[in-house]
Amino acid sequence: MNKFPRSAYVHIPFCHRRCFYCDFAVIPLGKKVEPLGGYGSKTIKEYLHFLHKEILSIKHKSPLSTIYVGGGTPSILDPKQIRELIHIFKENYGIDYGAEITMEVDPASFNEEDLYGFIKAGINRFSLGVQSFNNHILQKSGRRHLREDAEKSCSWLKRVYDSGLIKSWSLDLIQNLPLSGFKEWQDDLKKAISFSPPHISIYDLSIENGTVFKKLVNIGKLKLPSDEEAFKNSELTHLILKNSGYSRYEISNYCLPRHQSRHNRVYWSGLGWWSFGQGSTSSPWGEKLTRPRVSKDYKEWVIRQYKFNLDFSLTNKDFIYKELDEKIMLGLRLKEGIDIQKVFKDQNWETTKSETTFSKLIEEWERFLDDGLLIKKGNRFFLSDPRGMELSNQILISMFKWWDKIN
C-alpha cells in the first residue's frame, strides 16, 4: 500500500486585517494589498516564492486526492497565483482524477470574475467565511465584510454550483458571537439556508489569548451570549439544520448527502497529510511538524531545509502513532464515533493491559453513558446528537484525565 500522504494543506497567511477573535498565523496587510505592485502584493509574491520552494522540496511524492488552500484569506491572491499553485502540485505530485480541491474565500475579498478565475485554476470546492449576516455582529467582531457582501458571494457560489461548475461549497458561520441572541442567530441560520449550501460549518466562538476579544473579556467589556442562551442557540442550530435535510457528520460540520469534506476527514481519521506554509502543521507519518509562525523565521527555515538537504517531513522511518488520547478525541468528534478496542489494538498492547485500560476508561465514562451523552454500540463509542455533541468538552476532559492517570 502506498503510504505517502495523499492530502495537502497550503497556508496563505494574508488578511486585510485581523478579526477580533482570531489568533491564527496571519499577516494583516491592510489596504497595502492593492494596487498590484504595491507593498502588499510584493509581500505576497515573496511569500509564494518560498511556499513553492517548500512544496517542491518533498522528494517522495504521491498523487494527491485532496488539496485545501486555507488561511488567512486565500482569496486575496490573484486567480493566476492560485493557478500556479495548483499547477505545481499537478506537475510535481500529480492530482487524482476526481480530487477535491478546496479554497477558503472571504466575502469582500473577491468578485465574481475572480471566482470564475479560481474555478478555471482548478478549484472545485469553496468554503465561504460568512460568520454572520448581521452588520452589527460583523462590525463588533472586527470583520471587514458586510451583509451585502456575504449575500452576493453566496449567490455567486450558488450559481456556479447549480450550473455544475463546482462540486460543492460550504457556508461557514460562527455561533455565539457578541450580540448574537436567539433571534439574531435564527435569522443567520435561516438566511444561510436560503442559499441552499450543500455544506454548512458552525464554529462555536472561543476566546483565545492575545485577541481583542480576550482583552475585552478581561476588562468586562464583551457581552457574549450566556451559557443558557448559547445552549438555546445550539438547540436551534440542530433543529433548523436537521429539518432542512442537513446531517451533522462532525461536531462543527453539517452537510447534505455526499457533501462531507473529504480533506477534513483526513485530519479526523488520523491519515497523514502534507502541509505547506508559514505556521502550518503537517503530519505525514503521524508525527506533527509545525512551521515557524513569523515570516522571517519561516523563510529562513525553508532556506535551511535546502542548504542542509534536510528531509524534514519525509523520512518514512518508523510510522509514529498519534498520541492515543488525540486519536480518541478526533474519533469522538465524528458522527460514527470510534472503535476504542481497535485503537488499543493498534498500540500493540498485551491483552491484560488493553483490558485494564479499557475498564478504567469505562469507569470514567459511566456517568456520561448513563446520562445518554455517550452511546456505546459494540466496541464503538459515539456522542449523542445534539446533547452529547454540545457537552463533548466534559467527556473529553474526563478522557484526558483518564489518560493522565494511566500514564
Which residues form the interface with ligand SF4 (CB under 6 A)?
Answer: 15, 18-19, 22, 24, 26, 71-73, 106, 129
Complex with ligand SF4: residue 24 or 321, whichever CB lies closer: 24
Complex with ligand SF4: residue 22 or 99, whichever CB lies closer: 22
CB of 78 to ligand SF4, least distance (A): 18
CB of 144 to ligand SF4, least distance (A): 8
Complex with ligand SF4: residue 15 or 101, whichever CB lies closer: 15
Cell of 107: 466575502
CB of 130 to ligand SF4, least distance (A): 11
At position 223, the amino acid (one-letter code) is: K
CB of 292 to ligand SF4, least distance (A): 18
Residues 6+ apart with CB under 8 A from 362: 369
In angstroms, the CA 112 to CA 119 distance is 11
Type and span of the H or E element at 94: none
In angstroms, the CA 129 to CA 203 distance is 11
Which position has the grid cell 463509542? 381
Complex with ligand SF4: residue 100 or 172, whichever CB lies closer: 172
Complex with ligand SF4: residue 12 or 391, whichever CB lies closer: 12
Complex with ligand SF4: residue 9 or 381, whichever CB lies closer: 9
In angstroms, the CA 26 to CA 18 distance is 8
3-state helix, strand, coil in the chain (%, to 5): 45, 20, 35
Contact (Cβ atoms closer than 8 angstroms) between residue 169 and residue 157: yes
CB of 26 to ligand SF4, least distance (A): 5
Complex with ligand SF4: residue 18 or 335, whichever CB lies closer: 18
CB of 164 to ligand SF4, least distance (A): 29
CB of 298 to ligand SF4, least distance (A): 17
In angstroms, the CA 150 to CA 154 distance is 6
Shortest Cβ contact with ligand SF4: which residue? 22
Report the relative pairing of strands 95-105 and 64-71 from DSSP bridges: parallel
Contact (Cβ atoms closer than 8 angstroms) between residue 11 and residue 70: yes
CB of 20 to ligand SF4, least distance (A): 9
Complex with ligand SF4: residue 205 or 389, whichever CB lies closer: 205
Residues 6+ apart with CB under 8 A from 117: 78, 79, 80, 82, 83
Residues 6+ apart with CB under 8 A from 246: 200, 254, 255, 256
Contact (Cβ atoms closer than 8 angstroms) between residue 105 and residue 46: no
